Amino acid sequence: MYKKAIVIVLATLFLVLGSSNSGMAYSPTIQPFPIGIFWPPSPANTSNGSYADIAAMHANFIVGGNGVSDFASNDPALNYAASNGLTMLIDDNQLAWRNQLLSQPLTGHGQFVSSSSSLGQTFKSPAGSGWGLNTVTLYIDKLNWPAGTTLTLTLYDSPAKNNAIASNSITGPVSTYYPTFGLYTAIQSNSTYYVELTSNSPSQVGWVVTSSSNVYADGQAYKNGVAQAVDFWFDFGFSQRAYNDGNKPADSVIDNITNHYKTHSALQGYHVLDEPSALQMTRIQDTIRRMKLGDSNHMAFVNLFPNYASSTQLGLDQQTGVYVTSSSPLGQSFTTKPGQTMINTVQWWIDKNTWSAGEELTLKLWNSPAKTTLIAQNTLTTPSTEWPQFNLNAAVNGSTAYYMELTHNGGGNNSVGWVIRSNTNDNWYNDGTAYLNGSAIASDFWFTINQNIIGGSYEDYVYRWMYTAPDVLVFDHYPYMADGGFRSDYYANLEVIRRQALLGGIDFWSYIQSVGVNGVWRVPSESEMRYQIYSNLAYGAKGYIYFTYWTPASSGGESFNNGIILPNGTKNNSYTWAQNINADVQQLGGTLMNLKSIAVYHSGGSLPSMAAALPASFFWQPNNSSLPLLIGYFENQAGEKYIMVVNKNTSSAQTAAFTISTGYSNVKEVSKTNGQLIVTNYQAGTGQMSVSFSPGEGKLFKLQQ
């Protein structure tokens, strides 16, 4: 979630399928195992050498950003990626950001700025949500701006200057009459702010051009803090996330992007948006569907919030509801996923406290809102949860529209509710809509199909994105805190992501913490970095991405430090750590990519929230139950069993002895040197085996009958 600051920088530097559920999502393939980096070298540092360093770290794809976010910067980056065997998920600002310019173009007068004469201008920010102020351009006589004279533009909350928000300086000489100051900061919408221009020299610089009268209604010029009856000539450049306030990128913008990039050999796909709210997901799906019309051969990439994001960030706090009665049934049309054959259960979100004795609610599945063919139905009375499951066990066709209707039997007080729905004009699901008493309304009821989750939870958020059938499920969670702690909800996040990926039938990728933020995160040690990677692999991750590669500049109140590449372009120690870990994982990758996660267990120490303890009946048991171990159980398509064991101790190496159920002729390790099976000290007669682990290390084993 702390990528928000970097996302603001992305904006400021610029400032599924073709038809509904018509086929399976694009399946991304990066061989032998997807290992990526986020925040690549900036445009100024984009070179064959800098991209060769990425490849030498044994990464194989890049998630764009750090100013590599438009045609001019992405084109050379793609060429260097191709030269070094890399692919790119391109970041293009047009996909994620909307720009707005506030201009006052009239001239007629001017003022001088000096160390004894400051100049200012009040202005009003745009209405809406989530705006950032990126740049301010003024009209200044470059011929009267001496070399060595520095002009600074500072943004304040008001002319009282109680709170300095951002500033930027430019030192003469300059080559333009229209210098642009980069402020790059988040601001409140529909609010008045003040910018002030100051100089480090007593010499007068200017004209700083103004109008001849007060022509801008929402502000005015100032000189030495005194309001003037004029306005400066200005251009204020604002940006807003493209999906805020019900918006999305125009089809013409999307088409222009896919047409520009789609034939490049190094294109892996499109970085559409980072950390969307649930309220944005259907509009993002619309964007991806449009992208797939123009380019069905490349993936769409969206990264989800971690489970420590707030309900407001997740977009789960915006909802309303209605009552179901015998005279007012509630309905929802929807479309099945491609290849779907069964609807076993359907959940609705209903206030159980209003569901009294004698009241029965029936959910019926119909072929359409016309209700000409009843397919299945189920009746419930007084449930124990607010998310009751209706058991339908109905055979259905994939990519097909259906209609479900909730009815009341008239018993009790003949009223149950709230039955939760979205606010009017908030679209929770594409390809369907809510119905009230048989009439469509601009809303959606909350429902899940073949799931059992809690409405308004983090899993609800992940499920809603999974319902759009993304190409890959991606999330970030950064567990290593500045106070030395390890986030207690780390495994709970992995549990949700793993479960939803399996239920959705897609792979999941994770971001790996590799940078510090002052007061928030510490920089992981080598063993901590290794553990985060192997713990994700044990949970079934089919790819990971380092956050971050290049160390970001401080932004949005966050001060980043010690990424894999330091701000001056030199390699941090973590470059070698990542290089060595990646080399090992790439050797395991050919095997890992063909495995399905069956279970994940914890052994030793306290059991984390939502995690499962190693059952006493499991076929693989540590002889010392107090050793902190993570055990991932996998099978391949042939039903052969694999186990990944990870040392949860990131401070010390340890040797663990195991007892493995009899019946296996051999247990071999997948080599981190060449990916081949190598012998272990497994004793078939006794089922005994011992393994040595470095701190945070994982090892992968195959059991042979």
For residues 660-665, give the mean pLDDT: 92
Instruction: Supply the pTM of this predicted model.
Output: 0.91
The residue whose two tokens read 């919030």 is 305
pLDDT in tens, 194-229: 999 999 999 999 999 999 999 999 999 999 999 999
The confidence score (pLDDT) of residue 2 equals 44
Q: Is the pLDDT of residue 13 over 80?
A: no
The confidence score (pLDDT) of residue 556 equals 59
Nearest to 546 by CA among 517, 500, 511, 501: 511
Are 612 and 598 in contact, with CB atoms under 8 Å apart? no
Provide the percentage of residues in the chain whose pLDDT is more than 90: 94
Nearest to 199 by CA among 146, 158, 239: 146
Which runs of E-coded beta strand occur in 125-204?
131-138, 150-156, 164-171, 180-186, 192-199
Give the Cα separation of 529 and 521 in Å (integer): 13
Q: Is the pLDDT of residue 438 over 90?
A: yes
Give the Cα separation of 562 and 417 in Å (integer): 53
Provide the percentage of residues in the chain whose pLDDT is more than 70: 96
The amino acid that residue 188 corresponds to is Q
The residue whose two tokens read 């971001």 is 511
Nearest to 408 by CA among 332, 310, 309, 327: 327
Comparing 19-28, 179-188, 471-480, 687-696, the range with the smallest average pLDDT is 19-28
- Residue 264 per-residue DSSP state: -
Give the Cα separation of 525 and 530 in Å (integer): 8
Give the Cα separation of 594 and 337 in Å (integer): 24
Q: Per residue, what are the HEC states of 20-66?
A: CCCCCCCCCCCCCCCEEEECCCCHHHCCHHHHHHHHHCCCCEEECEC
- Beta-bridge partner residues of 405: 331, 364
Residue 637, both tokens: 């398509």
The confidence score (pLDDT) of residue 507 equals 97
Cis amide prior to 39 (ω within 30 degrees): no
pLDDT in tens, 121-166: 999 999 999 999 999 999 999 999 999 999 999 999 999 999 999 9
Residue 86, both tokens: 């890399």
Give the Cα separation of 164 and 187 in Å (integer): 12
Pairing of strands 654-660, 620-622: antiparallel
Quickly state the pLDDT bin for 27 (edges 50, 70, 90): low
The residue whose two tokens read 């009790």 is 412
Cα separations in angstroms, 381 against 38, 384, 437, 451:
51, 9, 21, 20
pLDDT in tens, 50-74: 999 999 999 999 999 999 999 999 9
Residue 506, both tokens: 């897609």
Give the Cα separation of 251 and 260 in Å (integer): 14
Please give the biggest Cα pair distance in the chain: 97
Higher pLDDT, 27 or 424: 424
pLDDT in tens, 270-294: 999 999 999 999 999 999 999 999 9
pLDDT in tens, 331-388: 999 999 999 999 999 999 999 999 999 999 999 999 999 999 999 999 999 899 999 9
Q: Could you give the domains of the chain?
A: 1-97+247-316+456-593 (3.20.20.80), 106-232 (2.60.120), 317-453 (2.60.120), 596-705 (2.60.40.1180)
The confidence score (pLDDT) of residue 545 equals 98
Average pLDDT of the chain to the nearest whole number: 95
Alpha helix positions (H), 363-444: none
Coil, helix or strand at residue 580: helix
Are 16 and 338 in contact, with CB atoms under 8 Å apart? no
Q: Is the pLDDT of residue 20 over 70?
A: no
Quickly state the pLDDT bin for 431 (edges 50, 70, 90): very high
The residue whose two tokens read 């084993």 is 701
Give the Cα separation of 615 and 669 in Å (integer): 23
Give the Cα separation of 646 and 263 in Å (integer): 41
For residues 313-319, give the mean pLDDT: 95
The confidence score (pLDDT) of residue 294 equals 97
Q: Is the pLDDT of residue 328 over 90?
A: yes
The amino acid that residue 3 corresponds to is K
pLDDT in tens, 105-120: 999 999 999 999 999 9
Distance of CA 458 to the CA centre of its chain: 13
For residues 165-178, give the mean pLDDT: 97
The confidence score (pLDDT) of residue 662 equals 82
Quote the Cα angle for 596-300-580, to 5°. 55
Give the Cα separation of 630 and 94 in Å (integer): 42
pLDDT in tens, 235-253: 999 999 999 999 999 999 9
The confidence score (pLDDT) of residue 21 equals 35
The confidence score (pLDDT) of residue 26 equals 65
Are 610 and 495 in contact, with CB atoms under 8 Å apart? yes
